Amino acid sequence: MQRRLKDINFLDVVLWIFRAVIIGGVIWGSIATIIENPYPMHTWIETIIAGVAQGSLYALIAIGYTLVYGVLFMINFAHGEFFMALTDRTMISINLWSFLRSILGSSNGEKCSIRQSVTSVCLSNFSLYSPILAGFLYKF
pLDDT (tens digit per residue) in 10-36: 888 999 999 999 999 999 998 898 888
pLDDT at res. 133: 63
pLDDT at res. 21: 97
Structure confidence at residue 130 as a pLDDT band (50, 70, 90):
low
Query: Does position 45 have pLDDT exceeding 60, yes or no?
Result: yes
Q: Where are the beta strands (DSSP E) in the chain?
A: none
Domain coordinates in residue numbering, the chain:
1-38, 40-74, 78-140
Q: How far apart are CA 82 and CA 84, in angstroms?
A: 5
Query: Does position 137 have pLDDT exceeding 60, yes or no?
Result: no
| Contact in structure between 93 and 113 (CB atoms under 8 Å) | yes
DSSP 61-78: HHHHHHHHHHHHSS--TT
Which pLDDT tens digit goes with each residue over 60-93? Answer: 878 877 877 777 666 666 666 666 777 777 777 7
| Contact in structure between 68 and 79 (CB atoms under 8 Å) | yes
Structure confidence at residue 8 as a pLDDT band (50, 70, 90):
confident
Q: What DSSP designation does 7 have? A: H
